[in-house]
């Protein structure tokens, strides 16, 4: 099995330039990017369609709003801080249990109120949005389903589905590791597990650029598992995609312990590493749509 098909001479592999010139620029009008680049707008669209999304607890748009930050935040036992216009998992802080002086992260490291306030300040200053002023979102922390907990309990695994012309064409499960600090993003050292979208079965796993068969921390088997709710996941993607005038998209969802499939965010420029994870070139699939 080839670990990195992107570096080889494979005619069906989609590269960055071809993705941009042939699929993103012609099909994703820039004036509509904010519908998915801004997480609050994406959640509003999804919620109007009856699609489950994490509840928004608080938003901070201005430094003056931080005067009462500690009093406002104390109302919540656990939550997630994220930038509204962030990308790639950067700037996201997952908050676990509360303590006398603040909170704990998912690895039980202390997070005093001043550190949380500094994170929100960094978001407002644009530290995770290319220097542009941003909004800090305080939202519900999702507690993963038993299936995802079995794979790795300290963090949130998610499902990335690529859609073209409102049709799901490729998917992978992304799983956190001890090195990824609870995040599932591949470039932050999460694991990618390719999916057969017709069955929900896992077909190939990639970690730090190499094929694996077991999770490096939990030693859980990763191949030939059946992802629950695959039909519902794909239906959510198609329902939301039909309402967004962008035709090449990456959907990120997860499985909540009580609700089931939940939409986290959408990306107008989804990455290409999914081809290494599934060991299949995107061009091969795109040509059939």
Asked whether residue 32 falls in the same domain as residue 83, the answer is: no
Task: Give me the pLDDT at residue 70, please.
Answer: 93
- Cα–Cα distance measured from residue 277 to residue 197, given in angstroms and rounded to the nearest whole number: 14
Domain region containing 24: 5-53+143-286
- Supply the pLDDT for residue 128: 92
pLDDT recorded at residue 2: 42
Total number of residues shown for the chain: 289
**Residues 157, 265, 27, 85: is their CA dihedral positive or negative?**
negative
- 227: helix, coil or strand? coil
pLDDT surpasses 50 at 219: yes
How many separate domains does the chain show?
2
Q: Give how far the C-alpha of residue 138 lies from the chain's centroid of Cα atoms, to the nearest Å.
A: 16
Does one domain contain both 153 and 180?
Answer: yes
Task: Return the residue matching tokens 């104390």.
Answer: 74
Same domain, 269 and 171: yes
Is the same domain home to 221 and 192? yes
Residues 166 and 237 in one domain: yes
Q: In this structure, are 111 and 216 located in the same domain? A: no
Same-domain pairing of 47 and 172: yes
DSSP three-state, residue 205: strand
CATH no. for residue 15? 3.30.470.20
Residue 4 has pLDDT above 80, yes or no: no
pLDDT confidence of residue 155: 87
pLDDT score of 149 more than 70: yes
17 & 41 share domain = yes
Q: What is the pLDDT of residues 152-179, one digit of tens each?
A: 998 899 999 999 999 999 999 999 999 9
- On whether both 211 and 257 belong to a single domain, the answer is yes
Q: Can you give the pLDDT at residue 185? A: 87
CA 203 to chain centroid: 20
pLDDT at position 135 is 97
Using the 3D structure, point to which of 94, 114, 139 is the last residue of a domain.
139
Query: Could you read off the pLDDT of 84-130 as tens digits, one per residue?
Result: 999 888 899 999 888 888 899 878 889 999 999 999 999 999 999 98
- Give backbone dihedrals phi and psi of 37, rounded to 5 degrees, phi first: -70, -30
Is the pLDDT reported for residue 38 higher than 70? yes
Which tens digit of pLDDT belongs to each residue from 182-206?
888 898 899 999 999 999 999 999 9
CB 94 within 8 A of CB 105: yes
Q: Kindly tell me if the per-residue pLDDT of 9 is higher than 80.
A: no
Asked whether the predicted pLDDT for residue 208 surpasses 90, the reply is yes
What is the chain's mean pLDDT, rounded? 93
Predicted pLDDT at 100: 84
Predicted confidence at residue 7, as pLDDT, reads 56
Q: What is the dihedral of CA 30, 137, 119, 180, to 10 degrees?
A: -80
Domain boundary among 106, 139, 172: 139
- Tell me: do 23 and 112 sit in the same domain: no
DSSP SS3 for 143: coil
Strands (E), 77-221: 79-83, 93-99, 102-105, 110-112, 136-139, 158-164, 167-175, 191-196, 201-207, 210-212
Provide the token pair at 272. Answer: 């290409």
Residue among 101, 47, 32, 82 at smallest CA distance from 240? 47
Lowest mean pLDDT of 29-38, 84-93, 139-148, 204-213, name the range. Answer: 84-93
Q: Has residue 1 got a pLDDT over 50?
A: no
Based on the fold, state whether residues 78 and 100 are members of the same structural domain: yes
In this structure, the answer to whether residues 43 and 62 fall within a common structural domain is no
Domain termination site, one of 139, 156, 175:
139
């Amino acid at each position: 099995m080839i670990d990195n098909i992107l570096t080889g001479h494979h005619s069906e592999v989609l590269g960055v330039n071809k993705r941009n010139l042939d699929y993103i620029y012609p099909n994703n009008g820039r004036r509509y990017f904010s519908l998915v680049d801004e997480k609050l707008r994406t959640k509003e669209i999804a919620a109007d369609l009856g699609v489950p999304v994490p509840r928004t607890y608080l938003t901070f748009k201005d430094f003056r709003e931080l005067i009462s930050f500690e009093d406002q935040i104390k109302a919540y036992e656990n939550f997630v801080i994220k930038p509204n216009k962030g990308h790639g998992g950067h700037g996201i802080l997952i908050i676990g249990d509360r303590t006398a002086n603040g909170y704990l992260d998912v690895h039980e490291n202390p997070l005093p109120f001043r550190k949380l306030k500094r994170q929100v300040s960094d978001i407002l200053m644009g530290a995770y949005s290319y220097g542009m002023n941003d909004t800090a979102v305080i939202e519900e922390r999702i507690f993963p389903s038993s299936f995802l907990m079995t794979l790795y309990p300290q963090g949130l695994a998610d499902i990335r589905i690529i859609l073209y012309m409102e049709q799901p064409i490729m998917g992978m499960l992304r799983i956190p590791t001890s090195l990824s600090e609870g995040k599932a993003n591949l470039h932050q050292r999460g694991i990618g597990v390719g999916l057969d979208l017709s069955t929900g079965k896992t077909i190939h796993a990639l970690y730090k650029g190499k094929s694996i068969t077991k999770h490096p921390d939990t030693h859980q088997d990763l191949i030939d598992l059946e992802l629950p709710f695959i039909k519902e996941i794909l239906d959510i993607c198609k329902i939301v995609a039909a309402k967004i005038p962008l035709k090449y998209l990456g959907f990120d969802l997860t499985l909540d312990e009580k609700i089931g499939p939940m939409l986290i965010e959408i990306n107008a420029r989804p990455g290409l590493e999914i081809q290494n994870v599934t060991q299949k070139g995107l061009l091969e699939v795109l040509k059939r749509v």
